[in-house]
Structures are given as structure tokens and as C-alpha cells.
Chains A and B, each alone.
Chain A
Amino acid sequence: EDQVTQSPEALRLQEGESSSLNCSYTVSGLRGLFWYRQDPGKGPEFLFTLYSAGEEKEKERLKATLTKKESFLHITAPKPEDSATYLCAVQPNTGNQFYFGTGTSLTVIP
């Protein structure tokens, strides 16, 4: 069964304190793994797509990596404006379905 598990559920960081969010997945065949940012009261905002193990993508203070079983979203020197819920999703290589994790709620304290 295709599924996605994110950890931790919540994370509080001091401004400048780097950390990583985890997304573990089980899928019969991976078409893509997606990271989103969701602010309260808004829809998810696309961040990255990763397609194969070893792939990395970067955007400002965020870096996403992918292995055959999990993905990490590394946050370097976070700022308060990075506070949001970060969602991970996988798309199997059959069908159009996306399977989402429950997200990690990140709070960055000034």
C-alpha cells in the first residue's frame, strides 16, 4: 500500500538553528516526490519535485534530498518567515493519485 509518513509532527527552532524534516514513503513505483509549504488558511504552495534517488534541489534556505525510502527537507539558518507546515507527497508511476503525509508544523522563534 502506498503511504507517506512525516516526522516530526511539530518542530520549534531558534532563528538560525538548522534542522531537517523527514518524509518516509512506501510506493510501488515512484513517479515523483513533492514538497509543499502551507501557511495557515492557504492552500499548499509547491516547493520541489524529486524524481530519483540521489537527486537534490535547493531554494534559498531549503534543500530537499531523496533516497529510495525517504526524503529530507533541510532548513539552513531558518528565519521566522519560514514558519509554516511542510507537506510531503508521492505520486506513484501508475495513475494520477498523489499521497500526502500529515505534515510537519515548523515554528521559528526570533
Chain B
Amino acid sequence: SAVISQKPSRDICQRGTSLTIQCQVDSQVTMMFWYRQQPGQSLTLIATANQGSEATYESGFVIDKFPISRPNLTFSTLTVSNMSPEDSSIYLCSVVGQFEQYFGPGTRLTVT
């Protein structure tokens, strides 16, 4: 299994500002995933982050809005840029094991 930690656990931000979310895994992994979970909705994949290469973004998500870093095999950051109230959500970091997927505790973001 993998243990994943995220920082911050929650934050309240003003519109127009940016927030960087950190994700730390207790083992080396090739791919890390960033999800968004909006109230009452399912998890939506934002991007896949591979170490040493640019992240791959899903339809509807762009690098300028959600830049991702992956400096090593245990760490990644997701930045939510130029925030608006529509960005209020829970952001989750995830890794895939041999047969399952593990999630971090999430970062609850509120944009006012």
C-alpha cells in the first residue's frame, strides 16, 4: 500500500490569487494523478504527472490554469491559478499500485 499526504488540508483564498497544493508519497511511483471532486459530483481527473516529463492534461483542463510539477518520484505539486469561486472543490492526489488506486486525504479549497 501507499501512504499519501497533502498540504494544505484546507484553505480559503480570494479570487484572482493562486494556491499550490503539495502531495508526498511514502514510496517511489512512476505516475501521480490529480483529481478534483466538486460537491455532489464524481471525481474528475485533472492530469497525470510523470517524473521528468510534462504532465498530461485531460479535456477541459489546461496547464496555464493548473500547472503541475513533478521533481522526483515521491513528490508533486498542483497549482490552482487565478482562482474563481468555481474552483472551490476538493483536490486529491492519487497513485496507482499493482491492483488498486490510493488517494491522499484531499485539500478542500474555498474561493471567495
Residues on A close to B: CB < 8 A? 4, 32, 34, 36, 41-46, 49, 87, 89, 96-98, 100-103
How many chain B residues touch the partner (CB < 8 A)?
23
* Contact with B100, one of A34, A100, A103 (Cβ below 8 angstroms): A34
* Contact with A98, one of B40, B101, B106 (Cβ below 8 angstroms): B101
Number of A-B pairs whose CB atoms are under 8 Å? Answer: 47
Any chain A CB within 8 A of the CB of B43?
A: yes
Given known pairs A49-B99, A96-B48, A96-B96, the reply for A43 and B42 (CB within 8 Å) is no
The answer to whether A97 touches B100 (Cβ under 8 A) is no
A-contact bits for B34-63, CB 8 A (1 contact / 0 none)? 000000111111001000000000100000
A47 and chain B: residue at smallest CB distance? B100
